């Protein structure tokens, strides 16, 4: 099915639309043109109670998406996802200064990043939506006019997220989706009991600002060793210099292998619901909602608190334009940036008994 409706307005009176695709025997996805945002994603199969819960965090109204600072709930972020240290980078001998929005750091494209723009719907069908955004040359300090698009496709038990971009001048780009997951259902509380597996033998240690200290290090012996599956709460709250630096987990794990492959598996034991994230990107930023502090009102009317959702952001490593060891984030005219991610949902028998 396809349903489109006005759900709010910007301060200048411009409408914000929500578009719903999928449903029936497929996941039901609701996307806002504001930020090309995943506002809700309902499971395709019922849980043991016969419910098809919303599995992602979102704001209760449009005003929530416009708040500053923002938790980027479900947003498409860019031009450069994650952090650029010092809000600057050098390209072909020219220093480009960006708009900082986290101290002197540029986070997720800066204060006027793609999450805060209204995207144009260029294709809409029962199971597919494409949104496009044109970012002018010099926008937020980035060179080149960038044309970015995101296509969400609902198929079977999965949602495919395809991010593309082209430019008129050599630039850097790193796009991702910033959905927070709670497989017990949005508004159900902490995801501490969720079990997360990440196919990564290395991670990027960071300082207290979330900036990489240097290159990748082995995950062995750290809370970032998620190769065999670990409860999120136990990892995020484990005493370790890295979890203490960022109040939990907010780290890029360097994924094993290349091409489209599994990056992570998230499991909720009480419902048996699980999510597999597949991607062609080199890194997965795992963020345990460390700064959700009870001031964000969710779609269910519940105030979100620390650990009420986990973001699994497929992307290039943070600060890649300033790091010689990172995969190049440079995009030239005539080339296309392409990032593919799949969210594969499933349901197993519950492995934990429900309480009375």
Q: What is the pLDDT of residue 344?
A: 98
Give every CB contact of residue 351 below 8 A, 6+ residues apart in sequence: 269, 272
Q: What is the pLDDT of residue 356?
A: 40
Catalytic, 160? Answer no
pLDDT per position as a tens digit, 33-59:
999 999 999 998 887 777 789 999 999
- 249-274 CB burial, b ≥16 within 10 A, e <16: bbbbbbbeeeeeebbbbbbbbbbbbb
The pLDDT of residue 280 is above 90: yes
Q: What is the pLDDT of residue 290?
A: 96
Hey, what's the torsion of the CAs at 205, 236, 209, 324, to 10 degrees? Answer: 30
As given in the structure block, the two tokens for residue 266 are 């998230």
Average pLDDT, the chain: 95
pLDDT per position as a tens digit, 147-189:
999 999 999 999 999 999 999 999 999 999 999 999 999 999 9
Give every CB contact of residue 221 below 8 A, 6+ residues apart in sequence: none
Strand blocks (E) in 98-233: 106-107, 120-125, 128-135, 146-155, 158-167, 171-172, 176-177, 180-181, 195-198, 202-203, 217-218, 230-231
DSSP percent split of the chain into helix, strand, coil, nearest 5: 10, 45, 50
Report the distance separating Cα 200 and Cα 59, nearest Å: 32
Please identify which of the residues 59, 178, 194, 251 carries the catalytic annotation. Answer: 178
The answer to whether 57 and 309 are in contact (CB under 8 A) is yes
Catalytic, 186? Answer no
pLDDT per position as a tens digit, 290-342:
999 999 999 999 999 999 999 999 999 999 999 999 999 999 999 999 999 99
All domains of the chain, ordered by start, with CATH?
Answer: 2-199+260-347 (2.70.98.10)
The answer to whether 109 and 140 are in contact (CB under 8 A) is yes
The answer to whether 78 and 109 are in contact (CB under 8 A) is yes
The pLDDT of residue 62 is above 90: yes
pLDDT band at 355 (very low <50, low <70, confident <90, very high): very low
The answer to whether 200 and 168 are in contact (CB under 8 A) is no
């Amino acid at each position: 099915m396809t349903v489109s409706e006005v759900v709010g307005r910007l301060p200048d009176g411009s409408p914000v639309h929500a578009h719903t695709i999928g449903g029936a025997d497929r996941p039901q996805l609701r996307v806002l043109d504001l930020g090309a945002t995943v506002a809700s994603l309902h499971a395709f199969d019922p849980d043991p109670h016969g419910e098809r819960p919303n599995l992602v965090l979102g704001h209760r109204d449009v005003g929530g998406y416009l708040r500053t600072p923002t938790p980027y709930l479900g947003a498409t972020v860019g031009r450069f996802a994650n952090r650029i240290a010092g809000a600057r980078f050098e390209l072909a001998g020219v220093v480009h200064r960006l708009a900082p929005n986290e101290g002197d750091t540029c986070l997720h494209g800066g204060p006027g990043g793609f999450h805060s723009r209204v995207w144009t719907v260029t294709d809409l069908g029962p199971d597919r939506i494409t949104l496009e955004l044109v970012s002018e040359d010099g926008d937020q300090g980035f060179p080149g006019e960038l044309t970015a698009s995101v296509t969400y496709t609902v198929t079977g038990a999965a949602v495919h997220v395809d991010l593309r971009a082209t430019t008129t001048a050599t630039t850097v780009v790193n796009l991702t989706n910033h959905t927070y997951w709670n497989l017990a259902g949005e508004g159900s509380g902490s995801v501490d009991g969720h079990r997360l597996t990440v196919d990564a033998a290395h991670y990027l240690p960071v300082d207290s600002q979330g900036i990489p200290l240097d290159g990748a290090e082995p995950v062995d012996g750290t809370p970032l060793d998620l190769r065999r599956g670990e409860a999120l709460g136990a990892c995020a709250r484990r005493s370790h210099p890295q979890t203490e630096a960022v109040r939990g987990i907010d780290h890029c794990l360097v994924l094993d292998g290349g091409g489209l492959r599994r990056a992570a598996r998230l499991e909720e034991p009480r419902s048996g619901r699980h999510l597999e994230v597949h991607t062609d990107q080199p890194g997965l930023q795992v963020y345990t909602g460390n700064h959700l502090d009870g001031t964000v009102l969710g779609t269910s009317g519940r105030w979100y608190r620390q650990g009420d959702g986990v973001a699994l952001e497929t992307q290039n490593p943070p600060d890649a334009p300033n790091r010689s060891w990172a995969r190049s984030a440079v995009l030239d005219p005539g080339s296309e940036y392409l990032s593919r991610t799949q969210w594969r949902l499933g349901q197993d028998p519950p492995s934990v008994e429900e309480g009375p």
